[in-house]
């Protein structure tokens, strides 16, 4: 992969001196974007799991706010829930808690006047067959006006957030890739211009375009590998720094457990580790393509 | 020899007419015609001089042969193939069959004499062991056995020229073109170089040597193509024993009309 003719003295001119650094920075940014994207996805997934497992039943107070009648309605609802399948836990929110939740929105004074509904949180058994339609119908029967809220709106919001973060990650990677490719093309073109005489001699002696492009390709491969390793190293240090800043205790105590706790799958780790590899391959292909294009215009 | 033929030349047993120009005109943009309506052919195994003053178009004619230029008008056949019909990926194969000694040598400055001479073999994918065997042998033949690792800039003009010649012939091309190979050397070395070309010619190489040194041409019994102001003519060898290769211009031969009429371009 690294061996082959080196008739063109590419390593002796200054045209490629900064390429490892440029590629290093690009790969650093790309790895950070991929890592951040994966972490954001995991956080969003956790929120969704939390929200998806929770359902709230809202029971409006009885007409004229008779507490005894309201209690009857709540008891009827609880009775229905008790015999329904798929529910792990039923928790009635104390009236104080409901008021505390609403107070910042409507104010203490108004709150006193408001007929507040009773809220019951249900934690569902994951993967169970909780039948919204059936239970909703039974609850309406037991206490007319009671409603099940399944947090569909919040779930949608979280899903949208996850998609946006993922898109941003892709956008950063795409911008970095384009900038990296342009740097490689510019560097390679400069190299071709500097060594035009040698390239021309090689052509006249009977070298194929591939023979010449191969020399540029191997040169860029060596530089990109150096850049890739440096970029990956700095990205790893950055991630460790971020974990440390977020939870210094856990990081000091057991860094492996913390990293394992990220919930990254094998594919995720492969994606992270593969980012610099893909970066190097893209750099090499960009070099080859750009040299072949330029050579095609030479005699 | 069999190795080189397999490597670089392919099967050359049938050797068609090596080079054929038919009514070729070449003119650089906005300038006068460098070559005007030139027709000739080089038979396999022939030895020709290409004579003419500096600027007469000798280098242009050679560049047309090794496909560094395309003619504006006319047809050029190289090894039996119409140059116009050659695809880009076929051109290297043709060039590998043509050894060229350039006027300014065109050695690669950062490569040693050994590596410069090895280039055509490396490009053709020869094994390193073979290169290490053959290149020093050839450099010894041209009198440079003590300069294998020397960089071109540390060599004299004559030594660089011999490196260039060794590079041109290392792959035993069937056609050898030399552009003013005696321009930078004294008479004695010039004679030695031409004897070297004679040796290659005897081994079956077709040789075309461009030179403005008429005295040198007169010492060898080979026909000449003479270029003057873009017009090509054929000149028989001094001894007159060798038959002439067809060479003509649609106008009278340049020797009989060395200057162009005003407005003839």
Domain assignment present for B70: no
Q: Give the domain range for residue B148.
A: 106-172
The number of C-alpha atoms within 13 Å of A256 and in the hemisphere containing its C-beta is: 0
B92: contact with A, CB 8 A cutoff? yes
Asked if the model's pLDDT at residue A160 lies above 60, the reply is: yes
pLDDT for A2 equals 63
B-chain residue closest to A4, CA distance: B122
The answer to whether the CB atoms of A206 and B167 lie below 8 A apart is no
Domain assignment present for B117: yes
Pairwise pLDDT comparison (A268 vs B245), residue with the higher score: A268
- Mutation target for A interface from B92, B166, B175: give the one with most A CBs within 10 A: B92
Give DSSP secondary structure letters for B1-31: -HHHIIIII---SS---SEEEEEEEEE-TTS
Tally A–B CB contacts below 8 A.
47
What Cα–Cα distance (Å) separates residue A272 from each residue in A30, A172, A241, A256, B86? 9, 14, 17, 17, 48
Q: Report the percentage of chain B scoring pLDDT > 70.
A: 81
Residues A144-159: tens digit of each pLDDT: 888 888 776 777 787 7
Read off the pLDDT band of A41 (50, 70, 90): confident
pLDDT for A285 equals 95
Q: Which chain A residues touch B if contact means CB-CB below 8 Å?
A: 5, 7, 9, 12, 197-198, 201-209, 211, 296, 299
Domain assignment present for B137: yes
Asked if the model's pLDDT at residue B14 lies above 80, the reply is: no
B-chain residue closest to A12, CA distance: B110
Residues A222-241: tens digit of each pLDDT: 999 999 999 999 998 998 88
Read off the pLDDT band of B191 (50, 70, 90): confident
The answer to whether the CB atoms of A198 and B108 lie below 8 A apart is yes
Between CA A93 and CA A150 the distance in angstroms is 16
Q: Report the percentage of chain A scoring pLDDT > 70.
A: 93
CB burial string B149-165: b at 16+ within 10 A, e below: ebbbeebeebbbbbbbb
Give DSSP secondary structure letters for B236-248: --TT--SPPPPEE
B-chain residue closest to A11, CA distance: B110
B127: contact with A, CB 8 A cutoff? no
Domain assignment present for B260: no
Domain assignment present for B72: no
Asked if the model's pLDDT at residue B254 lies above 70, the reply is: no
Place of tokens 């440390």: A244
Give DSSP secondary structure letters for A145-180: T-EEE--HHHHHHHHHHHHHHHHHHHHHHHHHHHHH
Chain B residue numbers with beta carbons less than 8 Å from the beta carbon of A204 are: 66, 68, 95, 100, 106
pLDDT for B238 equals 59
CA nearest A181: which of A267, A278, A65, A112?
A: A278
Minimum-distance CB partner of B120 among A9, A198, A206: A206
Give the three-state DSSP class for A88: strand
Domain assignment present for B146: yes
* Mean predicted confidence (pLDDT) in A152-177: 83
Minimum-distance CB partner of A206 among B69, B92, B115: B92
pTM for the complete prediction?
0.73
pLDDT for A276 equals 93
Read off the pLDDT band of A281 (50, 70, 90): very high
Domain assignment present for B65: no
* Mean predicted confidence (pLDDT) in B208-224: 88
Residues A66-98: tens digit of each pLDDT: 778 888 888 888 888 888 888 888 888 887 777
Starting at the edge strand found earlier in the chain, the sheet holding B98-101 runs B98-101, B175-179, B206-211, B47-51, B224-228, B231-235
State how many domains chain B has.
1
The answer to whether the CB atoms of A9 and B120 lie below 8 A apart is no
Q: What is the residue-averaged pLDDT of chain B?
A: 80
Domain assignment present for B94: no
Asked if the model's pLDDT at residue B149 lies above 90, the reply is: yes
- Mutation target for B interface from A10, A205, A295: give the one with most B CBs within 10 A: A205
Q: Of the ranges A98-112, A137-151, B236-250, which one carries the lowest mean pLDDT score?
A: B236-250
Residues A233-262: tens digit of each pLDDT: 999 899 888 877 877 666 666 666 666 666
B-chain residue closest to A201, CA distance: B106
Q: Of the ranges A247-256, B73-82, B142-151, B244-253, which one carries the lowest mean pLDDT score?
A: B244-253
Minimum-distance CB partner of B92 among A198, A207, A296: A207
Between CA A255 and CA A239 the distance in angstroms is 12
Q: Report the percentage of chain B scoring pLDDT > 90.
A: 38
Domain edges within chain A: 10-44+158-296, 61-145
């Amino acid at each position: 992969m690294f061996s082959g003719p080196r008739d063109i003295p590419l390593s002796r001119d200054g045209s490629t001196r900064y390429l490892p650094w440029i590629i290093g920075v690009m790969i650093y940014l790309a790895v950070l974007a991929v890592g951040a994207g994966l972490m954001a996805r995991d956080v969003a997934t956790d929120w969704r799991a939390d929200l998806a497992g929770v359902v709230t039943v809202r029971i409006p107070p009885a007409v004229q706010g008779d507490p005894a009648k309201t209690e009857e309605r709540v008891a009827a609802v609880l009775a229905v829930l008790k015999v329904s399948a798929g529910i792990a836990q039923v928790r009635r929110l104390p009236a104080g808690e409901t008021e505390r939740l609403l107070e910042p929105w409507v104010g203490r004074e108004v709150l006193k006047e408001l007929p507040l509904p009773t809220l019951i949180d249900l934690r569902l058994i994951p993967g169970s067959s909780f039948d919204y339609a059936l239970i909703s119908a039974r609850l309406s029967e037991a206490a007319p006006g009671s409603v099940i809220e399944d947090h569909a709106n919040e779930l949608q919001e979280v899903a949208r957030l996850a998609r946006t973060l993922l898109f941003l990650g892709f956008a950063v990677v795409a911008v970095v890739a384009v900038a990296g490719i342009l740097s490689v093309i510019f560097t390679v073109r400069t190299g071709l211009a500097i060594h035009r005489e040698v390239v021309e001699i090689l052509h006249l002696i009977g070298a194929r375009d591939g023979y010449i492009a191969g020399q540029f390709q191997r040169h860029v491969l060596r530089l990109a590998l150096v850049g890739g390793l440096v970029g990956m190293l700095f990205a790893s240090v950055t991630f460790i720094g971020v974990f440390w800043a977020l939870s210094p205790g856990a990081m000091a105590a057991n860094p492996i457990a913390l990293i394992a706790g990220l919930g990254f799958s094998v594919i995720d780790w492969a994606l992270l580790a593969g980012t610099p590899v893909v970066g190097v391959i893209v750099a090499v292909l960009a070099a080859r393509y750009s040299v072949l294009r330029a050579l095609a215009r030479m005699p | 020899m069999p190795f080189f033929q397999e490597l670089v030349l392919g099967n050359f047993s049938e050797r068609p007419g090596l080079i054929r120009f038919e009514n070729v005109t070449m003119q650089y943009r906005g300038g006068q015609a460098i070559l005007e309506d030139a027709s000739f052919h080089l038979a396999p195994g022939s030895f020709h001089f290409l004579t003419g003053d500096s600027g007469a178009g000798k280098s242009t004619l050679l560049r047309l042969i090794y496909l560094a230029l395309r003619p504006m008008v006319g047809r050029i056949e190289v090894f039996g193939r119409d140059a116009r019909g050659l695809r880009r990926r076929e051109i290297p194969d043709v060039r590998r069959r043509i050894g060229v000694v350039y006027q300014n040598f065109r050695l690669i400055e950062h490569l040693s004499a050994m590596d410069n001479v090895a280039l055509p073999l490396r490009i053709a994918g020869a094994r390193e062991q073979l290169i290490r065997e053959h290149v020093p042998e050839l450099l010894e033949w041209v009198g440079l056995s003590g300069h294998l690792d020397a960089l071109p800039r540390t060599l004299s003009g004559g030594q660089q020229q011999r490196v260039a010649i060794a590079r041109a012939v290392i792959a035993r091309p069937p056609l050898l073109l030399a552009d003013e190979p005696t321009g930078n050397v004294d008479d004695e070395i010039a004679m030695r170089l031409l004897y070297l070309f004679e040796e290659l010619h005897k081994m079956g190489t077709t040789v075309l040597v461009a030179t403005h040194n008429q005295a040198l041409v007169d010492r060898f019994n080979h026909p000449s193509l003479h270029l003057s102001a873009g017009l090509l003519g054929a000149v028989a060898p001094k001894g007159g024993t060798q038959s002439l290769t067809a060479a003509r211009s649609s106008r009278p031969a340049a020797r009989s009309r060395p200057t162009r009429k005003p407005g003839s371009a």
